[in-house]
Amino acid sequence: MNPRLTKSQQETICSKLGRVKLQLLYKASIHGFTGAAFHQRCDNRCPTVSVGYNSSGYVFGGYTKQPFSQSGQYVHDDQAFLFTFSGEQLIKYPVTTPVYAVKMMANSGPYFGEALVLVNGSQPIVYNNPGNYYTFNAAQMHGNNLNLTECEVYQVEVNSELEKPWRPMVWEQQTEMMDSIKSYSPMTSSVSQIRVLLIGPVGAGKSSFFNSINSVFRGHVTSQAIAGCSTTSLTTQFRTYSLKAGRGGKPLPIILCDTMGLEETTGAGLELEDVVNILKGHLPDTYQFNPSAPLHSEAHGYRKSPSLKDKIHCVAYIIDACKVSIMPPKLEEKLDAIRRKVNLMGIPQLVLMTKVDDACPFVSEDIRNIYRSSYIKEMMQEVSVRTGVPLSCVVPVKNYSKELELDQNCDILLLTAIIQMLRFADNYFDELNPLSSR
């Protein structure tokens, strides 16, 4: 059974899914253009890529991590997407309503949320209804040709072939790293704790990052900062979190400053004027964000003459690895405007790429594969280009979000991020006091 997808097309699809390969399960021209034939070959298999072909030369379909069945129910999948090929380029259309991502229909082939159905009603045709849980242009997707010449379903399998790590990493040094952080002292006597500002889109994992670092030093999973899943920011105040070396321990030499999430809509989420006030040290802790009315100098708690210890010494952008390639243009524009302002102020910047285990099955299998994953490397390169931050300043991490116990390898990645922040803060103080570094 030979796949109709070319090797190049398979590689392009796999590049969006991680260190994986495709195994052909169902080919309608051989097994039949029926729901029964599709379900016999594909039920309980996952993740899958379903592909339709028409006489106009279009190649299109969808991805879901959920196993197919004949339950008649909708299935939630926040990573599902539709796609089409434009030449060698893959155009993705992410699910807009994850709770309706896939429907399990007995009399049809792959059924993506009332938007696209392959082998609809056990016929070699496509059901097409853009805007229902997926948004796409029908002419771009399949040229409005709804007659199938072929339909294939592939299972996505983890490719366990290991590569040489492209970035060196030592996985047995947690105690040394924690001691190094505890003993760190800022290069300026007027500052006892460096302040790192966390900036990122809603749901990227800013609050979860603080909770995760706090967990590492507490020795168990904690949840001090509000974190979770929402379409709007769960953080509505400016919060400064001082980490401690264990329960009742001394404060660590770093303060993580959490902000409202970035949103693509103007007048929603964190805005540039508020970012500038935070960078300069004007915002007080627990300041309530109001996107339609940035902080003004007469507001209660406004610091008119902030000292060096009140200012931001390093900025960390928090980016979801699963959403790098589908970042909305307006959100990218906001990030670019912030980055330019931070550059002008001479504040060092780095990117923390979160949810790497969700983005790549190879990494989900073992977090130590992080620098063996060509997919994660590609995502890091892409986020470097999109944010304008050098690749050497992009650090992948895995936050604690569903675990009840700590994992040493996750701790190592989190501690690596903190150490990079401390080093970058040193660069900031070097520029303020060039003579002290000579």
**Residue 268's pLDDT is what?**
64
Which backbone phi and psi does 68 adopt, to 5 degrees? -75, 155
Give the pLDDT confidence of 109-152 residue by residue, as tens digits: 999 999 999 999 999 999 999 998 999 999 999 999 999 999 99
pLDDT digits (tens, 9 = 90+) for 289-333: 665 566 667 676 778 888 999 999 999 999 999 888 788 888 898
Higher pLDDT, 19 or 318: 318
pLDDT at 438: 37
**What's the pLDDT at 46?**
93
CA distance 149 to 154: 17
Residues constituting the chain: 438
pLDDT at site 231: 45
Taken in order 320, 323, 324, 328, the sign of the CA dihedral is negative
Please, which residues bridge with residue 351 across strands? 317, 394
Q: Could you read off the pLDDT of 326-368 as tens digits, one per residue? A: 888 888 988 999 999 999 999 999 999 999 998 887 888 899 9
Give the least confident one: 274-288, 397-411, 418-432: 274-288
Reading the block at residue 68, the tokens are: 């197919």
Residue 22 host element (H or E):
strand 20-27
Give the pLDDT confidence score for residue 209 in this predicted structure: 94
Strands 81-86 and 89-94: antiparallel
Q: Is the pLDDT of residue 435 over 50?
A: no
Spatial CB neighbours of 298, under 8 Å, sequence gap ≥ 6: none
Strand partners, 150: 53
Asked whether the beta carbons of 354 and 383 are under 8 A apart, the reply is no
Average pLDDT over residues 254-262: 89
Q: What residue segments make up the domains of the chain, in order of their start?
A: 7-158, 174-437
Sequence-distant (6+) residues with CB within 8 A of 87 are: none
Percent of the chain topping pLDDT 70: 91
The topology under which CATH files domain 174-437 is Rossmann fold (3.40.50)
Provide the token pair at 237: 């105040």
**47 preceded by cis ω (within 30°)?**
yes
Residue type (1 letter), 101:
A
Give pLDDT tens digits for 51-95. Answer: 999 999 999 999 999 999 999 999 999 999 999 999 889 999 999
DSSP conformation letters of 293-327:
S---TTSTT--SS--GGGS--EEEEEEEGGGGGG-
Which carries the bigger pLDDT value, residue 295 or residue 417? 417
415 has pLDDT over 70 = yes
Q: Are 311 and 281 in contact, with CB atoms under 8 Å apart?
A: yes
Q: Are strands 126-128 and 48-54 parallel, antiparallel or unpaired?
A: unpaired
Question: Token pair of 288, please?
Answer: 């309530």
Cβ atoms of 77 and 64 within 8 Å: the answer is yes
* Helices (runs of H) and strands (runs of E) counted in the chain: 12, 18
* Mean pLDDT confidence for 10-34: 92
Say yes or no to pLDDT of 241 above 80: yes
| Higher local confidence (pLDDT), 292 or 107 | 107
- Tell me how far apart the terminal alpha carbons of the chain are, to the nearest angstrom: 69
Mean pLDDT of the chain: 89
d(CA 34, CA 52): 14
Place of tokens 């070959």: 41
The CA distance from 110 to 28, in Å, is 12
Residues of 159-190 as b/e, b for ≥16 C-beta within 10 angstroms? beeeeeeeeeeeeeebeebbeebeebebbbee
